Chain A
Amino acid sequence: MNKKKLYSAWFLVPTLLVFGTLFLLPMATSFFFSLTVWNLRDFTFVGLENFKMFLKEGSLNIGIRNTLVYALCGCSMKLVLAFFIAVFLNSGIRSKHLLRAVVFFPNLVSTVAVGITFKALMHPSKGLFNRVLELMGLARVDWLGNPDLALFSVVGTDVWKGVGVATVIYIAGMQAIDKTYYEAAAIDGATGAQRLLYLTLPLCRPAMHSVMILAFIGGLRSFDLIWSMTGGGPGFATDVLASVIYKQYAEGFYGLSTAGNVIMLGLIMLLAFPLQKFLLSREAD
């Protein structure tokens, strides 16, 4: 019995080795270096100074707020939009296969390319968006230059890019719903809206949960889109945790940026694990 256990344990060794050297070890060292002022060669131990600075200073802790806003807005918009697109694409329309491909297409483009393209589209005087607005007789919008709007402009781009994946997950979930439910509902005289509300919505809940978790965690650690569109600006208005950490790293504040990474790891764990647990518990019944 014991021998058998040992035998099977050997299969875990390669995985553990990779996991240990590439994940556990760096994590332990990063916990250590987050407590130091470090220039890659030597370090000075400063206790919790880096964490204090990170949480106290406006240009650093704005990242935490913006990350949450970004993740929540992006996640909820994808959740709702993708649901309706999926319902539409799951109906009997003729070109649905083509449309499914079209909806998924933005996801195939590199994020940085999307960022640069949208930055050009959102240019206040030369961008296509404002040209169209002007043709329609509307005022120009400073999409990325207005500090109150910039973050939401980036969120919008993120939704455009990410809604395809969410839609595909929804479609898969909806196709798994047994057709007999709909037949029964039709016989009972349920309207389209009732079928949507009382059949489709509750029955594709597992798909919805997957979308939620994926979009939320993806939003928490997003970086590339923001960096290519605004670089965190104007000022710090669109800085998220990842971009703040990157900037500290780029400036050579290795200890401080490591502390930021530890905070980000903690934040993601703190939010994602309970969320997943909550969603799983709801799926059970």
Chain B
Amino acid sequence: MKRRYARLLAGLTAVMMLAGCGAPEEQKNRGASAEGEGSGGSAGTADVSDTSAADEGSGEKGAGDGGWDYQEDTLTLLIDSDASQAGLLAVCDLAKEKLGITVEIETRVGGPDGRNIVKTRLASGDMSDLCIFNSGCLLGELSPGEYFIDLSDEPWADQLEDTFRDAASVDGKLYGIPFAASTAGLVLYNREIYEEYQLKVPATWDEFMENCEVLKENGETALIGSFGTMWTAQVPYLGDHYNVIAQEPDFAAGFQAGTAKYASTAAALRSFEKLEATVPYYNEDYMATGYDDGCEMLANGEGAHWIVLSGALANIYELYGEEVNKIGGFAIPGDDAADNGLTVWMPSGIYGNKNSEHADSIKRFMEFYISEEAIQAYSEALLPEGPYVIKGVELPENAYTAVKDMAAYYDSGKVTTAMEFQCQIKGANCGAICQECVSGQITGAQAAAKYDEDCKKQALQLGISWE
């Protein structure tokens, strides 16, 4: 009996020492980590050092190479099926080798159904160890304080860019690390079609519509509509946020307070009017075309433009390889050619389950996931869909053409985060309302008014008085 206590105590000390002083040391070492020594922390050595740690109460757990702790463990991870997993899988393979952590991936559907699964699994205490979910206002809906591990005090969390930190924090506490690079809502276009018709990248919305008109007259599908996947219907509106903010810098704050409305703010109403203006140019089967169909159409030149998140590039790359470099990108044009910029989304976060028995391994995995080593492995398997949100990490040389196009906006500072990172309120039916608009049931102005109305529900739920 006594011996058992002693062991327990020894184990505890080991854990505490690791948590207390282990981390900064590891960070120093990490830069020097060599990749060749991969097999350094094999299962055999780990077992030996593990028992010795428990018996002698020493803090040296696992002699993992590159300063990483090696201790075998298995974590479960829940991800939505729309996300490209190649990068994640590469990091997981590396984590198994270096950290001894095996990650079992469970998939869920994307969109509202997927959010429902996450909420239900959290509420019923059935969440996996790691969970991938949106950052920004949707994270706030999960009450992360109740369910997720607080990472605010982890020393490695300082590597995260502040914009992401804000997006993955609720009430000043950080809960997530970036799952991937940032993305943008933009117009992806097939450059071969542009060359064929000698079109120029449009600087204003009117020029964009003219390009579409030319394409339509020549029998091309000017715009790809993939509204069979409902969330894609809202990208033209959401991705227009830079143009709203350029004219009305206080719009997001006003909207949250209930003083500004989409229907009554000219610049914001314009986003919905533009959505309505796109209607004549879509492919015939746009209500039945899904996200994957959209990727196929753009890569094969069956459509010239697609207003979508830049995450589609990774999907296209996975499916069609180098074809992805035929695709360029530009921000959704506004009415002012001089002030047009990109609306960006912070990546989804990876969150750790607070009630998991593997809290230690979760943190080890997270620290590893945002290390240079892991990011390199990630971008070898899957190129980023936009700039990274980790300090000091640059875009790789062979980034997708469209991502390089995006980088130009970053370089000139013409970037803003999407509405959901600036305002807590996002209407639940945003996708459906936009779908209603593009299917010609309501006008842009009606859609704007309907969206304002829809947001009331969220405001009420959050206890924000809008009366």
- List residues of A whose CB falls within 8 A of some B CB: 37, 39-41, 44, 46, 49, 53, 57-59, 119, 122-127, 140, 142, 144-145, 147, 231-237, 247-253, 256
Contacts and interface: CB of A to CB of B under 8 A. Distances in A.
Contacts of B286: 145
Contacts of B435: 233-235
B8 interface: no
Interface of B: 112-113, 115-116, 119, 123, 141, 143, 146, 227, 230, 284-288, 428-429, 432-433, 435-437, 439-442, 450, 453-454, 456-458, 460-461, 463
Given A234-B436, A247-B428, A250-B112, 6 more contacts: A40-B123, A53-B460, A123-B288, A124-B284, A125-B284, A250-B113
Contacts of A145: 285-288, 439
A39 B460 contact: no
B460 A49 contact: yes
25 contacts: A37-B461, A41-B143, A59-B433, A59-B450, A124-B287, A124-B288, A126-B285, A140-B284, A144-B287, A145-B286, A145-B287, A147-B439, A234-B439, A234-B441, A235-B433, A235-B435, A235-B441, A247-B112, A248-B457, A250-B115, A250-B116, A251-B115, A251-B428, A251-B458, A253-B428
A98 B461 CA distance: 56
A129 B285 CA distance: 14
Nearest to A124: B285
Contacts of B115: 250-251
A182 to B, nearest CB: 50
Nearest to A50: B460
Nearest to B454: A59
Nearest to B117: A250
Contacts of A232: 432
Scoring B146, B288, B433 by chain A CB atoms within 10 A of each residue's CB, the highest score goes to B288
B137 to A, nearest CB: 12
Given A59-B454, A147-B441, A249-B116, A235 B284 contact: no
Contacts of B285: 123-126, 142, 145
A256 B457 contact: yes
Contacts of B428: 247-248, 251, 253
A117 to B, nearest CB: 14
Contacts of B433: 59, 235
B304 to A, nearest CB: 18
Contacts of A233: 227, 230, 287, 432, 435, 439
B87 to A, nearest CB: 28
A59 B461 contact: no
A147 B440 CA distance: 9
Contacts of B284: 124-125, 140
B341 to A, nearest CB: 30
Nearest to A255: B461
B227 A59 contact: no
B288 A235 contact: no
B143 A142 contact: no
B463 A37 contact: yes
Contacts of A39: 143, 461
A234 B119 CA distance: 25
Nearest to A233: B435
Scoring A59, A142, A232, A237 by chain B CB atoms within 10 A of each residue's CB, the highest score goes to A59
